[in-house]
Amino acid sequence: MTATTDGSNGAFGPRAAAATETGSPDTFEAARRATERATQLLFSRQHSEGWWKGDLETNVTMDAEDLLLRQFLGIGDEKTTRAAALFIRGEQREDGTWATFYGGPGELSTTVEAYVALRLAGDEPDAPHMARASAWIRARGGIAGARVFTRIWLALFGWWKWDDLPELPPELIYFPKWFPLNIYDFGCWARQTIVPLTIVSAKRPVRPAPFPLDELHTDARVPNPPKSPAPMASWDGLFQRLDQALHAYQKVAVPGLRRMAMRSAGRWIVERQENDGCWGGIQPPAVYSIIALHLLGYDLDHPVLREGLASLDRFAVWREDGARMIEACQSPVWDTCLAAIALADAGVPADDPRLVKAADWMLAEEIARPGDWSVRRPELAPGGWAFEFHNDNYPDIDDTAEVALALRRVRHPDPARVDGAIRRGMAWTLGMQSKNGAWAAFDADNTSGFPNRLPFCDFGEVIDPPSADVTAHVVEMLAYEGKASDPRTRRGITWLLAEQEANGAWFGRWGVNYLYGTGSVVPALTAAGIPAAHPAIRRAVTWLESVQNEDGGWGEDLRSYVDPEWVASGESTASQTAWALLALLAAEERGSKAVERGVAWLARTQNDDGTWDEPYFTGTGFPWDFSINYHLYRQVFPLTALGRYVHGTGHVGGPGPGGGTGHGPGHGAP
Cα 517 from Cα 509, distance rounded (Å): 7
298 has which bridge partners?
Answer: none
By C-alpha distance, which of 456, 568, 468 is closest to 168? 456
Q: Is 398 a catalytic residue?
A: yes
Cα 523 from Cα 475, distance rounded (Å): 10
Q: Is 347 helix (H, G, I), strand (E, B) or coil?
A: coil
Torsion of CA 3, 6, 9, 10, to 10 degrees: 90
Q: Is 135 helix (H, G, I), strand (E, B) or coil?
A: helix
Q: Is 548 helix (H, G, I), strand (E, B) or coil?
A: coil
Per DSSP, the residues of 497-516 read HHH--TTS----SSBSSHHH
650 contacts 24 by C-beta, under 8 angstroms: no
Catalytic, out of 398, 399, 464, 557: 398
Cα 547 from Cα 282, distance rounded (Å): 35
Q: Is 364 helix (H, G, I), strand (E, B) or coil?
A: helix
Return the amino acid letter for 628. Answer: I
Q: Is 316 helix (H, G, I), strand (E, B) or coil?
A: strand
Cα 405 from Cα 384, distance rounded (Å): 12
Cα 118 from Cα 100, distance rounded (Å): 17
Return the amino acid letter for 451. Answer: P
**Residue 22 CB partners (closer than 8 Å, separation 6+):** 590, 591, 648
Cα 514 from Cα 102, distance rounded (Å): 19
629 has which bridge partners?
Answer: 57
Cα 553 from Cα 527, distance rounded (Å): 25
Q: Is 56 helix (H, G, I), strand (E, B) or coil?
A: strand
Cα 2 from Cα 9, distance rounded (Å): 8
Q: Is 524 helix (H, G, I), strand (E, B) or coil?
A: helix
The distance in angstroms from the start CA to the end CA of the chain is 42
99 has which bridge partners?
Answer: 106
Cα 119 from Cα 465, distance rounded (Å): 39
Q: Is 57 helix (H, G, I), strand (E, B) or coil?
A: strand
Residues carrying an active site annotation: 398
